[in-house]
Amino acid sequence: MVIDNLQNAFLYFGLRKNFQLAFEYLQQTDFSQAANGKYELYDENVFAIVNRYETHSAEELKWEAHRKYIDVQFVASGFEQIGIVDIGEVSPVTEYDEKNDVQFFTGEGKQFPLNEKTFAIIFPHEVHKPGIADKVNSSILKVVVKVKV
């Protein structure tokens, strides 16, 4: 996992194919004007999901992982904690759902802050729990860019 500020996105352009496209989209888009929903950037290879929601306690949320896509989770406004753990340290509670590219898990992990204008790059071997409140629930505007593995 990588956590960094969007101003440093250029450092990750060469990390993987299509990361530059993903980060340029995050840098050039005014998400305060974007409706919630899915936005295709490059066929099924790169797409973004804009979402507004309230954070919750860690106990209310699920650990999840993806196989087909790397997540670039960007907090456009607000603040949340994100849980991260290696997939070998948790136990699956569902079968892998290929259509939705998701599997849910149970276990424990570490929490990291995601401040406004920061992003987390989450790889398929990392299980994550986004949307965790820091003491009190708060409103989040988040964009998740999915980059095909």
Q: Any idea what the CATH number is for the domain that residue 57 is in? A: 2.60.120.370
The pLDDT tens digits of the residues spanning 54-109 come to 999 999 999 999 999 999 999 999 999 999 999 999 999 999 999 999 999 999 99
DSSP the chain: -EEEEGGGGGGGTTTSTTHHHHHHHHHH--GGGPPSEEEEEETBTEEEEEEEEE-B-GGGS-EEE-SSEEEEEEEEES-EEEEEEEGGGSEESS--BTTTTBEEEE---EEEEE-TTEEEEE-TTEEEEEEE-BSB--EEEEEEEEEE-
95 occurs within a structural domain: yes
Is 31 domain-assigned?
A: yes
In a domain, 149, yes or no: no
Q: Residue 17: which pLDDT band, with cuts at 50, 70 and 90?
A: confident
Domain containing residue 7: 2-144
User: How much is the pLDDT for 126?
Assistant: 98
**Assigned domain for 92 exists:** yes
Query: Above 90 in pLDDT, residue 48?
Result: yes
Is this structure's pTM higher than 0.75?
yes
Q: How many separate domains does the chain show?
A: 1
